[in-house]
Amino acid sequence: MLLNLISNPQQFIAFLTALILAITVHEYAHAYAADRFGDHTARDAGRLTMNPLAHLDPVGTIFLLLVGFGWGKPVPINDSNLKNPKLDEIIISLAGPFSNLLLATLIGLFLRFVPLSAEFTNFFVIIIIINLVLMTFNLLPIPPLDGSHILKIFISGEAYESFQRIGIFLLFAFIILTNYIPILSIVINWVTNVFFMTVVGKSIQI
């Protein structure tokens, strides 16, 4: 993916802009939700901001450039500050993916009803796709991704902590596996096509 983008500087700039925007919105949403639920850890750490430098994770960004999916720097959460730790933490975790879906939806509706040049349309399409990729990938139930927090409903705290300790290894194993069995790519393509048909009103090839 990176080589293809570098060969097209205009496409690379559009992709990089979309990537930074998607990650920033995603991580800010986590910080904002946590702050609203009474945990000010993210605010104290300087994460309640739309400054991209506060949210970009070097490894996650490189993965997004190289393989098409990745993550931002995790927002610190102290669940002892939450009134209903289990439920609140799940909502905080889902705030990130939801923010990407919301941003993609707003831009998708804009594309549907406002005529634009091919260049601007392409730029906004890239923003939508990056947000949908980030949303879908982060909903995987593998630590440290957001979807893993949903598992707390079904397993004990001790079991989740054990799962969390090996989560990063499972995540890398899953990423390697996708090179041979493109499950995630199939899911992302399906999500993207359903989104474009529903919101934008036309299909798209990615």
Q: How far is CA 159 from CA 4, 145, 148, 174, in A?
A: 42, 16, 12, 20
Q: Catalytic residue among 27, 119, 158, 161, which?
A: 27
SS3 for 94? helix
- Which residues lie below 8 Å from residue 204, measured CB to CB, with a gap of 6+? 125, 129, 192, 193, 196
Q: Is 193 exposed, middle or buried (0-12, 13-18, 19+ CB in 10 A)?
A: middle
User: Across 59-129, where does the E strand assignment appear?
Assistant: none
> Would you state the structure tokens that stand for residue 58, as one six-digit string?
């070097």
Do residues 24 and 55 lie in contact, with contact meaning Cβ atoms separated by under 8 Å? yes
Q: Is 89 a catalytic residue?
A: no
How far is the C-alpha of 42 from the C-alpha of 68, rounded, in Å? 27
How far is the C-alpha of 84 from the C-alpha of 25, rounded, in Å? 25
> Would you state the structure tokens that stand for residue 62, as one six-digit string?
């490189």
For 49-60, give the DSSP string. Answer: S--GGGT--HHH
> Which residues are the active-site residues?
27
